[in-house]
Each structure stands twice: as structure tokens, then as C-alpha cells.
Amino acid sequence: MSFKLLFASTFGLIKSTAKIETAHEALLADYRMFTGFEKSGEHKEYHELEVLVNSPTFKQLKKELQRLALKGSKEDAQLKELGKLKRNRRLNQFYSVQKSEDLKRFVKISASSALAHYKEIKAAVEIHSYTAIKKMAKDSKEFLLYLEFEKLKRSEDIQFFNHYRSSAAYRNYELMGESPEHKRLEELQKITITDEFKARVAYLEDKQKWEKTEEWVKEKRFADMQKMPQVINFLKYKHSNAFDFFRKWDLVFEDRFDTGKLDNQKWITQSHWAGKTLGQNFSQVGDLHAFTDGKNIAVDGKSLKIEVRKEKAKGMQWRIPFGFVEQEFDYTSGIVSTAGLEWWKHGILEAKVKYSPSVHLVDALYLLGEESSPQINLVEMGVKNRMGILSKSDSGIHEDCESINGLKTGEFYIFRLEWTAHSLVWTINERLMLTVNHNVPAFQMHLNAASIVVTEPTDSLPHRFEIDWVRFYQPAKE
């Protein structure tokens, strides 16, 4: 008995078969999603968007647009300057006068013949002093002209003209008319009423300006893609070594026995030597069963079952020196093999097998070459419960094996063999059991599963050797 295995099994140190399977299937599904995405146009699109969105140029553009606002802009300064000028008291007075009826009257008088005549008379009168004029004869030309001047001077329009021209409002009007402030105000008003300026202000005030760019559309697409299951999966494993196994090994053979019948593209129901010699199965000396040609093989859509049944059957048996002799057996059993279809050299063989040994039988899943030795047992149950390699020699059978006693009867376990050019390594549910570094087969071998009756069973029959699935991997091609 393997006390190490018994201890590990008893104290829960062997990983759960269900958890190992679940983890494997989940990782395999993630790997297939990962590789599928890697080869897709979506991956190309995602990569291009990732490069773009994370580029310094893109980030700088986004930063600049998000910071861009009316406040602090040239347009903001122009609007503030315009507002200040509009609040300028002297400019407001200028525009008030400009729109007034008094200015209109003043301008009208300024252009009148009456004002021109007044100015002409005034100029003539002002040649002389008023004192001199008053001393002149009352009927003199100069005195008469002076009287006319005084009359015109007292007229309503001339009085208005003279008063208005000297008013503070008009003086301000004339002063501001050509002032830098007035010119700048007029310039800013022309600038700010243009559609171009208004559009620029609206753009600067728009808090969604980034969201209206083509770059935002690409950024949004990139963000949306990051929520896609295949992208999440890709990012999760992008820099991980979790897929190293799938990258290093190619699955070259698998049967989950889920089709409801034995797959004859993968299995035959005869041994390799039966096919090469008789063309039918035969038993060895000491065996108490006849191998049927598939009648004892059941595939129910869940697993492969090799049944040992108590029933009469005729079969061939190899006896020295007579050769093959027909005889009647009390038991029947079955065998499946990949001999006619699949042979491998080096790789990983693993299978999920129910540990259900009977001391009267031998249930085995094993590799053989063209000869019956060596035999590599992935798992052997019954008379002996073990895994390892059996080799014939002149002195008998050499065994490099490890006991698997201690496993729980009726439970499924994952048995695994890694076969390289230099070693054979066995594990159960990822727990290392045995390593062999000598006499490692360097030739192609095929897979077999069989049940053999070696002593009269006292257990209830039928007995079933149950295999849930089997896989074989070989090193991935470069």
C-alpha cells in the first residue's frame, strides 16, 4: 500500500478531480477565446485604437480640448474689452449725443445759409471794435451791418447753435469721435458680430467639445471594446504564462465518449496482435474470460465502460505448444485499442478513470509498442493497484511501479503520464507519484484499455471498468 497516497487521500491533500477539470475546461475556453481574438479583425482594430488612444499626441489633444474654454481666451478678452468700452461714460455720452435731436438740429443749422450769412456778417463786424462801431453814424453801412448782426445773433437758431457748440456734451462728442476708445469700440463691435466670432465663442463655451470630435468616437469605441468578453479575456492573459501548456502541447487525440457509441475512427475492439494473427481476439493462458469483439464495450454518452460479465462464451486461447485453441469460458470481457489508427512517440497521456478495483480482475489503461514489452501502465487496478512500466527479461518481469492503494473506491481520478526521450513521469490529480529515467521507450506505441479475469470472481457482476475521457498531447510544432 502507498502510505504516502493513503495519507494524502485521507487528509484531503489530493486535489479535487472536479476542480481540476473545471479549471482546465475554463482555462481551455479562455485560451480558445484568446487565440480566436488574436486572429480576428477586432484584435487588429483594438490594437490600432490602443496605440492611438495611448499616444502622447492623442493625450495632448484631449487635454488641450478639455482645458479649452472661453475664459482666458482671446475672444474672452475681446468681449471683456468691448464690455468695458460700452460702459465708458464718455463714449456713452458720445452715442447719446449722436442719437439726439439737438445734434441733428445743430448739424442742420451748421449747413444752413443763415449760419453762413451770420458768419459772414460777424466777420465783417469784427473788423472793427464794438466801441468804434457805436461811434459811427447811425446810417453808416458799418453801423447798419452791426444792427443786422445783433439781430441775427439774437435769433433762436443762432443762439441754439452758439450755445450747443460750446456745451460740454458737444465738446465730448467732438473729442470722442476720433478717439482711440471710439475706434476700438467700433472695431470690436464689427469683430464680435461676425458669424465666425459667434461660432468660436459657442465652441469655447461648449463643455462637450471633446465628445464631438472623431477622436472621442475612437476613444469611446476603445472603451466599449474593453468591456467585450474577448477583450477582457485578452487583457487578463496578455502578459500571463497561464497558456504555456496549450502553447507547448498539441492535443492530437481525445475522446470524451459523449456520442453514444464507440468512435471507430479512434478505436478498434481487438488487440494489435489479434488483428495481425487470427483476425479475432484471443485470451492468454490463465485468463478466465473470452474477449468479445465489442459486445462488452458500452458508451452511454457519458463514459466508456468495459464490462466483465458471467456468461458462457467460446473463444480462442494461446497454448504452448498447440498454438491457438478454441475453448469455452465462463466469463466475457472486452478490449479497445488505437493500434489500427493511432500510434505516438513521446507526449502526455492522461485519462479520467474511476478507481474501482476487484481483486479477481485486472483493469488496465496502457501503452504498448509492436511487442508485448515494455508495457507502460497509465493505471492498473485489481490484483495490483499501481502505475508504472513493466518489462520482460530472461529473469522474469521487471517492474518500475508505484502503488496507488489508498485512493477512494468509486471516485474518479485523473491519471497522467508525461513521456519524454529521457523520462516517464506519472501523476494522480497533479500529485507526483513516480519518475523513471532508465529504459525509456524510444519507439511508437499505441493505447489499450482492457479488463482481464484472473481468478473466479466472488464480487457481483457485471464489473465495469469506467473511463470518462482520455487525451494524448504531443509537443507543439514550431
Domain chopping of the chain, boundaries: 74-205, 252-475
At residue 384, what is the residue type?
Answer: K
Q: In whole angstroms, what is the distance from residue 126 CA to residue 123 CA? A: 5
- Cis ω on the peptide bond leading into residue 462 (within 30° of 0)? yes
- What pLDDT tens digit does each residue of the chain (478 aa) get? 456 666 666 656 789 999 999 999 999 999 999 999 999 999 999 999 999 999 999 999 999 999 999 999 999 999 999 999 999 999 999 999 999 999 999 999 999 998 898 888 888 887 777 777 777 877 788 788 888 888 888 899 989 999 999 999 999 999 999 999 999 999 999 999 999 999 999 999 999 999 999 999 999 999 999 999 999 999 999 999 999 999 999 999 999 999 999 999 999 999 999 888 888 999 988 899 999 999 999 999 999 999 999 999 999 888 877 788 899 999 999 999 999 899 999 999 999 999 999 999 999 999 999 998 999 999 999 999 999 999 998 888 899 999 999 899 999 999 999 999 999 999 999 999 999 999 999 999 999 999 999 999 987 899 999 999 999 999 998 7
- Burial letters 222-256, b for 16+ CB under 10 A, else e: beebeeeebbebbeebeeeeeeeebeebeeebebe
* CATH number for the domain formed by residue range(s) 252-475: 2.60.120.200
Residues found in the chain: 478
- Burial letters 67-101, b for 16+ CB under 10 A, else e: eeeeeeeebeebbeebeebeebeebeebeebeeee
Contact call for residues 325 and 313 (beta carbons, < 8 A): no
Question: pTM of this prediction?
Answer: 0.76
Q: In whole angstroms, what is the distance from residue 272 CA to residue 159 CA? A: 139
